Amino acid sequence: MTDEGKMIAHFIYKSFSSAEVERLFDLYEITDSIISSVVNVEAAIVNTLHRRSQHFVLFDHNTPVPIINTYESPQTLGQDRLAAAVGAKTLCPNENLLIIDVGSAITYDFVTEKGEYFGGNIAPGLKMRFTILQRMTKKLPLVETDENELIPLFGKNTRDAIAAGVIRGVAYEVKGYMRTLSEKVPHFKTFLTGGNAPYILRNVRSSKTEKRELLFEKNLVLIGLNNILVYNKTALQKE
């Protein structure tokens, strides 16, 4: 939830229902709302949001956004990716932007300084890489890492070798995208977001060879969704 663009509260739910929507509206002075999901949303939730809101947006590929979407199949573009792109552009409106979301999957997206969403790539996330190593081999264990753990350059046991291989592999992947993009775009900023972003950020910034500006914003998707909500409400008021 935001107040004039400033986030005042956020929550994480294992499950969400129309009853919870009612509770939030009773607790806070909510006037407008937007919902975005990569899975189907229950009709009861949508109906409750629509009923309780002065202005409501059900975010999908038909929703107007304040950037130009050049993706060839907008209906297949993850709404979280597009929202993160809008969020980054909200924070740095006149910059070329590389947006890296390190979550269940890792996405790499590029937005030009003119506000054109250029496209992006999708790669396996950290947990997925750890799981694949364990499932696709006979002897390698499933490794879990702590966000504050110091990852060695080379592991001296199997567990540390897997941890270093996965974590440093993603860090080098991030730096590789930044280095390659710098050969094509003279100046850009890089945003890291997503649940595992702080972990990767520490490993990327540890290298003195990477001097380009690297920004971390954990709420990038939420900032983008709020901007999309405001954009649509403003457009409606002008009609």
Provide the pLDDT for residue 204.
73
H helix runs in 93-238, sequence order: 126-135, 158-182, 197-205, 220-238
The pLDDT tens digits for 3-12 are: 767 788 888 8
The pLDDT tens digits for 40-91 are: 889 999 999 999 999 999 999 999 999 999 999 999 999 999 999 999 999 9
Q: Residues 80, 101, 146, 160: which is the catalytic one?
A: 80
Structure tokens at 55: 């202005």
Provide the pLDDT for residue 150.
78
Is 80 one of the annotated active-site residues of the chain? yes
**Separation CA 81–CA 107 (nearest Å):** 8
Identify the CATH homologous superfamily for domain 79-219: ATPase, nucleotide binding domain (3.30.420.40)
Domain ranges of the chain: 79-219
Q: Are 162 and 141 in contact (CB under 8 A)?
A: yes
**Separation CA 8–CA 221 (nearest Å):** 15
The pLDDT tens digits for 147-175 are: 777 788 899 999 999 999 999 999 999 99
Mean pLDDT calculated for residue range 120-142: 95
The pLDDT tens digits for 188-219 are: 999 999 998 988 887 776 555 454 578 999 99
SS3 112: coil
Q: What does DSSP assign to residue 103? A: S
Place of tokens 């280095």: 179
